[in-house]
Amino acid sequence: MAGVNMAHNPNLTYLSRAQAEKIHAASLEILERVGALIDDEESAALLRKASVAVGDGDTFHISPKLVEWALSVAPKRIVLHNRNAEPVIPLEPGRIYFGLGSDCLFILDHRTGKRRQATLQDVNEAIRLADALPNIDFLMSAVLPSDVPTEAANRLQMRSMIENSTKPIMFVTNDFDSCLDVVQAAEFVAGGAKLHEQKPYCCCYINVTAPLRHNVDSLQKLLFLAAKGLPTTYTPMVLRGVSGPVTSAGAVALANAGELVGLVLAQLKREGAPIIHSGGYGDVFDMRTTTGAYTGPESYGVRTAMGAYYGLPIFGLGGSSDSKLPDEQAAAEASLTLLFETLGGANLIHDVGYMESGKCYSLEMLAICDELISYIRRYCQGIEVNDETLALDLIAELGPEGDYLPTEHTVNHYKETWYPRLFNRNHYDGWLAEDGLTLHRRTQRRVEEILQSHTPEPLEGKIKQEIEAILG
Amino acid sequence: MELFKPIVEATVAGDEERCVALAQEVIDKGVDPLQAIEQGYTKGMAIVGDKFSRMEYYLPELIRCADAMKAAMDVLKPHLGKGQDGGVQGTVVIGTIQGDLHDLGKNIVKTMLQAAAFTVHDLGCDVQVRSFIDKAEEQDVDVIAASAILTTTMAYMPDLVNLLSDMNLRDRFKVMVGGAPVTPEYADEAGADGYGENAAEAVETAKRLVQSRRGGA
Ligand code: B12
């Protein structure tokens, strides 16, 4: 079974109930007092129809009552399906799934070790690798190809994801038009719009200009998807100290307010529209290097706690790094962020394999994270405590200096222990004889092996043709 | 001059009150204000810039020091001789290029340019190539600075340069580009005069471009 099941494990409670309520109240106050700019006509009309007050400068001042209504009608559970219409990703409390990120500008070529502009071939390989990796549950495009016409890029990413894997898809499109085609393709695979609505094979990741400024493309996508009953995120981003307060509580309250605008609009368009909520992205701005950092400790905990407070499916971010190479820093940042997000209960954790704060993608990093996720999954399984696992009779039988190795109990249970596939536990000389490599170098080889050997389940010829006709 | 050392110190400390008081002292004692700027405040800001690039200072400290210096400038400027601009580095029109809504990086570049005593005209985000040029002409700027954070919108950078050429304005303005997808090689290919990987580099490049424009023109 894929994903992490935390049924046996206590979640991490990062915020007290009172703290979460206070942040929620702050988001409500921001929406009512400051208001949001809405750059799309239909969205503005929906808000006016819902009697939202319009202030000076065309700000929409959304009342707490309207937000509470939207929260009460938004679905608490969303199920994503794979290409074969199987319900593989139920987004519900305690179920955690992992996927790639999208659209990186550069890729670290695992064959040469060099950083270069990304191509369509890189998308294909990333998706093929993701298809093969057992702990990667859903797809995103990894990189934005630079070797295809700009207008075609998002469509070709989608085509690659459909053709090279059966896993569920989270897509990103820059413009509204590509979004229409991408959804049409997914619907075709699912056997029509109606079936796709019941068993969504894809969901969307929308980024909004700012918490209180909502751009037209994002709003059009949101309303289109809401009308179709298809799941999407709707995430503005606050860069702390630059486009919002530098402090966690304020940054998250502001970003969360922006997400709530999307939630309200989606529900006004169609009551019950499925929204994946992040709880408010407040990224750290590094005041020394002037970069946006993905893995600052302040970015973790609060956001997922807010998601949990709402009880909506939670969007997360982990398995990423601010490092330039899949080095020690990258492994550390990936481990910590995957663990924080999992324990925080994020249902859909994306950006696995991101380097350089989302600017560069690494296939080795994706494969290393696959190993980390399997480790975390084992940890989250918890333990069984019963007569068999306590093995009291055995302990008594063997006495103070017992040799447990030859016992049937050991034989029966040793396979329950987690074993690494990339991490090395060998003796020193054994390690030298095996390959004598660092994790990064070993993973480079592993990635190439998988790409050489893995063939994804082929797409039926007729469907393939139609997908090509739609997406180019 | 005995006043210059405390001016440098006050600037490096970002002590606005003291920077202003010292500027007043410069005037009261009849010290040459241009010298006070060059050997006091500007020298102090150079140390600040240095501390920033060594990651000893954080961006808010750099901004505070720049603000302190600016406040002192307000006192000194009326006393400068004719034709002395009191260290204004140059004029820049900046914007995020069309189709692109990422303006955070551009805003930081703007802040740093202002901190380094540039006059900056900010056109915001999603700026048409033509609008950069119109503003540049209107304000007679030294540098047109374009930011792109998407691979797709970066493609408009050559358009900016080409349009300048078509309008016979290529020699009149320097073009500086930057943003996440832009590399030095790409900046070259696009025909830009300069590039910066981050805001501090943007400032260095802008200074260089202003010098070459004014020297070369
Ligand atoms: C914040 C962010 C957003 C915010 C932007 C908010 C805003 N008002 O700016 C929001 C959420 C709106 C957003 C939207 C989108 N984003 Co975005 N975003 C980012 C993110 C995470 C950080 C960018 C940032 O602000 N960094 C911090 C600043 C300080 O750094 P910077 O921008 O690089 O600027 C520095 C330097 O580059 C340089 N510089 C910048 N400008 C200039 C100019 C000159 C002249 C010079 C010399 C130097 C210079 O100095 C700055 C300071 O050091 C990046 C990932 C990343 N790490 O870059 C993705 C990223 C840029 N986004 C991406 C994408 C795909 C999108 C969307 C298309 C997603 C969507 N469909 O919903 C939309 C596009 C909207 C549009 N049409 O523009 C991709 C780009 C893909 C590509 N290959 O082009 C990235 C790389 C993430 C990813 N891998 O998916 N995004």
Q: What is the pLDDT of residues B53-99, one digit of tens each?
A: 899 999 999 999 999 999 999 999 888 877 676 667 899 999 999 99
Is residue A331 domain-resident? yes
Query: What is the CA(A237)–ligand 1 centre distance, in A?
Result: 10
Say yes or no to pLDDT of B152 above 90.
Answer: no
Two structure tokens written together for A280: 């408010």
Contacts for A425 with CB less than 8 Å, ≥ 6 apart: none
Cα-based distances in Å from A376 to A134, A136, A170, A380? 14, 13, 23, 6
In this complex, the residue of B59, B152, B180 whose CB is nearest that of residue A290 is: B59
Is residue A460 domain-resident? no
H runs (alpha helix) in A9-119: 17-33, 41-49, 64-73
The CA-based angle A273-A278-A284, given to 5 degrees, is 150
Q: Say if residue A321 is exposed, middle or buried (CB neighbours under 10 Å; 0-12, 13-18, 19+).
A: buried
Two structure tokens written together for A432: 């030298």
Task: Tell me the average confidence (pLDDT) per consecutive run of 10 residues in chain A, 472 residues long.
Answer: 68 88 98 96 96 91 98 97 97 95 96 96 98 98 94 96 98 95 97 97 95 96 98 95 95 97 98 95 92 93 93 96 96 97 95 96 98 94 93 96 95 95 96 95 97 96 95 92
Handedness of CA A385, A387, A389, A390 (dihedral sign): positive
Is residue A8 domain-resident? yes
Is B63's Cβ below 8 Å from some Cβ in A? no
Cα distance between residue A129 and residue B192, in whole Å:
38
Is A150's Cβ below 8 Å from some Cβ in B? yes
CATH, residue A109: 3.20.20.480
Two structure tokens written together for B157: 């950078």
Is residue A66 domain-resident? no
Complex confidence, ipTM: 0.88
Say yes or no to pLDDT of B183 above 90.
Answer: yes
Contacts for A377 with CB less than 8 Å, ≥ 6 apart: A3, A4, A5, A135
Q: How far is A289 from chain B (nearest CA, A)?
A: 7
pLDDT score of B214 = 83
User: What does the domain layout of chain B look like in residue ranges?
Assistant: 4-79, 90-213
Residues A364, A396 within the same domain: no
Residues A307, A405 within the same domain: no
Quick one: how far is CA A268 from the chain centroid?
26
Chain B hits for A292, CB-CB cut-off 8 Å, are 104
Chain A hits for B98, CB-CB cut-off 8 Å, are none
Query: What is the CA(B181)–ligand 1 centre distance, in A?
Result: 9
Contacts for A296 with CB less than 8 Å, ≥ 6 apart: A283, A284, A286
Question: Could you tell me the residue range of the domain that residue A259 belongs to?
Answer: 4-15+72-380
Q: How far is A148 from chain B (nearest CA, A)?
A: 10
What is the total residue count of chain A? 472
Residues A97, A220 within the same domain: yes
Q: Say if residue A428 is exposed, middle or buried (CB neighbours under 10 Å; 0-12, 13-18, 19+).
A: exposed
Beta bridge partners of A284: A293
Helical (H) or strand (E) element with A302 = helix A302-310
Quick one: how far is CA A376 from the chain centroid?
16
Say yes or no to pLDDT of B217 above 60.
Answer: no
Instruction: Judge whether B57 and B13 are in contact, CB under 8 Å.
Output: no
Q: Report the pocket of ligand 1 as residue ranges, CB < 6 Å.
A: A 101-105, 144, 172-174, 206-210, 236-237, 239, 290-292, 357-359; B 99-106, 108-109, 145-147, 149-152, 176-181, 196, 198-199, 202, 205
Instruction: Judge whether B94 and B124 are in contact, CB under 8 Å.
Output: no
Superfamily the domain B4-79 falls into? Methionine synthase domain (1.10.1240.10)
Q: What are the backbone dihedrals phi and psi of residue B157, each rounded to the nearest 5 degrees, phi first?
A: -65, -45
Domain final residue pick, A353, A380, A407: A380
Is residue A433 domain-resident? no
Give, using CA atoms, the residue closest to atom 46 of ligand 1.
B178
Cα distance between residue B88 and residue B82, in whole Å:
14
Return the residue in B61, B107, B152, B197 with the most chain A beta carbons within 10 A, the one to mutate for interface testing. Answer: B152
DSSP letters spanning B45-114: HHHHHHHHHTTSS-HHHHHHHHHHHHHHHHHHGGGSPTT--TT--EEEEEEEBTT----HHHHHHHHHHH
- Report strand pairing: B118-122 vs B90-96: parallel
3-state class of B212 per DSSP?
helix
Adjacency order of strands within the sheet including A115-117: A115-117, A106-108, A360-362, A354-355
Residues A410, A301 within the same domain: no
Domain final residue pick, A359, A380, A401: A380
pLDDT score of A7 = 62
Residues A133, A261 within the same domain: yes
Query: What is the CA(B48)–ligand 1 centre distance, in A?
Result: 28
Cα distance between residue A241 and residue A253, in whole Å:
14
Tell me the whole-structure pTM to 2 decimals. Answer: 0.94
Structural domains in chain A (count): 2
Cα distance between residue B14 and residue B33, in whole Å:
19
Residues A260, A402 within the same domain: no
Say yes or no to pLDDT of B26 above 50.
Answer: yes
Looking at domain B90-213, which CATH architecture does it have? 3-Layer(aba) Sandwich (3.40)
Domain final residue pick, A380, A405, A426: A380
pLDDT score of B87 = 67
Residues A349, A403 within the same domain: no
Residues A272, A405 within the same domain: no
Residues A110, A156 within the same domain: yes
Two structure tokens written together for A293: 């950092």
